[in-house]
Amino acid sequence: MRLLSSAVLIALLAVSPPGARDVRAEEGARIVSVGGDVTEILYAIGAGDRLIAVDTSSRYPAETRALPDVGYMRALSAEPILALAPDHIIAIEDAGPVGAIDILRQAGVRFTMIPDTPTVEGAIAKIEQTAAAAGLPDAGAALATETRRRVDAAIAKTPKSGRKPRAIFFLSVGRGGLLAGGRGTSADAIINLAGGENVAAAFTGYKPIEPEAMTAGDPEIIIVTDRTVKALGGVDVILTSPQFAGTTAARTGRLVAFDGQMLLGFGPRLGEAIEALTAALHPPRPE
């Protein structure tokens, strides 16, 4: 019976139009995914079983832990990646170095770079383009639609009038240094989407902020990632840190932590992120 169905399949393959064959070829492709968002999307559209390796920043979902790690996304090494015999590398923009990517392309590996813009439209485009790269446009469209639905629902819950609560996001680097998310970062974008006001909007990028500027800006809530809390030893350690002294957030103890990939990734869980952050920024007022 199996022999017959195989024979039928082969016959079908022989006569099917070229486009469809490409899609089927993609379906068997061995994919290396670079970038936490890209990996998350690939799993969400059901291409997870095609992944043969991921980069260090890909930690979600948990299945990624079992895959080989190709290292820091901007310091990829061509030869070991080639040794894994990939057909396709799907990478978030900013992957590098250029030399390694050139060699991989020369070796006949398909390389797709996915743009990364921290906006709702950017997230949708990311999902669609990643899915297209993986040869699963339909699954991608479905995920995009679902994501947009959740995002719209979350945004609907965001208060449209009234004062915007002052918030600030911190990224931890190395030995306890904290960088604030300024204008143009995904942290800034998500704070705005959740109806908050970014205290650090005076500068761009992730930079350390002056304690006096912190006091002047007086954030009511401090946002960090789960990893930061673990790295710095707990919520209390962060709140009692001298650089937050005098702020409303420190006084009222309002510090929230989220999964970093969800909060900043601008991927399929964007809706969840907006919802969670909105709830944190605008707690239900006691009656």
Q: What's the start-to-end Cα distance of the chain, in Å? A: 69
Q: How far is the CB of 176 from another protein (least distance, A)?
A: 13
Rounded distance between C-alpha atoms, residue 27 and residue 30, angstroms: 9
In the bound state with another protein, the residue whose beta carbon lies nearer, of 16 and 56, is 56
Q: How far is the CB of 69 from another protein (least distance, A)?
A: 6
In the bound state with another protein, the residue whose beta carbon lies nearer, of 143 and 201, is 201
| Cβ pair 178, 243 in contact under 8 A | yes
In the bound state with another protein, the residue whose beta carbon lies nearer, of 193 and 209, is 209
Query: Look-up: residue for tokens 């890209």?
Result: 38
- Residues engaged in binding another protein (CB under 8 A): 53, 56, 68-72, 74-75, 77-84, 94, 97-100, 103, 106-108, 171, 173-174, 177, 179, 205-208
* Phi and psi torsions of 222, nearest 5°: -110, 130
Q: How far is the CB of 206 from another protein (least distance, A)?
A: 4
Q: How far is the CB of 27 from another protein (least distance, A)?
A: 23
Q: How far is the CB of 285 from another protein (least distance, A)?
A: 36
Q: How far is the CB of 174 from another protein (least distance, A)?
A: 7
Q: How far is the CB of 1 from another protein (least distance, A)?
A: 37
In the bound state with another protein, the residue whose beta carbon lies nearer, of 82 and 125, is 82
In the bound state with another protein, the residue whose beta carbon lies nearer, of 190 and 250, is 190
Cβ-based neighbour number of residue 21 at 10 Å: 12
In the bound state with another protein, the residue whose beta carbon lies nearer, of 35 and 271, is 35
In the bound state with another protein, the residue whose beta carbon lies nearer, of 178 and 250, is 178
